[in-house]
Amino acid sequence: MITDSTVCEIRARVETTVSPKRLRHIQGVVALCDRLCRRFALSPTAGAAAAWGHDLAREWPESDLLAWALRDNESLDEEHRAHPVLLHGPAAAAVLRAEYQITDRDVLSAVRHHTLGRAGMSSLEMVLYVADYCEEGRPFLTDELRAVPNDWSLPKMVLAVASDAGRRGFPIARRTTEMVADLTQRLKETEAHV
């Protein structure tokens, strides 16, 4: 179980090791993640641990990202090899596990996959994915995306984020494509039962 004390330790580390710009982003993610966790009846403490930890390795050199990601037996696919910065999620998850003894698989998976997503995402994974993209400090957010966290289901929020990333010209990773297909199918199944 993750305690408030553990969250405070992660927060203290982040506040003293990341740049001011990165800290503002993380603080925005923490705030939105908390709102979404409460809205969807998820543990605010687990959400806070994931949010404070998600970008703790974002500014690290590639060699450190690689070393930490491999420490958790993270497989390196073509996206990781082409863009090593994508390893900041897996590296941060490894740090949370090794240095803060976080064993909650949901929290670790949310941190690990917060950038590209994955098929089969849990609610906490979706919350962090959305909060990372939609926190209020993001200058690229459209009015629609600023409203997304207020009244949509989690799968619809995630699909809106993935769509917006494509609109902005980012290449869509294989993992993201798989996530979109999975969530689209889940939504169809949910709507069929309504």
pLDDT at residue 178, rounded to an integer: 95
| Averaged pLDDT for residues 79-85 | 82
pLDDT of residue 188: 87
pLDDT at 56: 97
Q: Where are the domains of the chain?
A: 4-192
Average pLDDT for 162-176: 84
Q: Under 8 Å CB-to-CB from 119, ≥6 apart: which residues?
A: 175, 178, 179, 181, 182
pLDDT in tens, 97-150: 999 999 999 999 999 999 999 999 999 999 999 999 999 899 888 888 887 767
Does residue 22 have a pLDDT over 80? Answer: yes
pLDDT at position 194 is: 63
Mean pLDDT within 32-59: 97
Over residues 161-172, the mean pLDDT reads 83
pLDDT at 180 over 80: yes
Architecture of domain 4-192: Orthogonal Bundle (1.10)
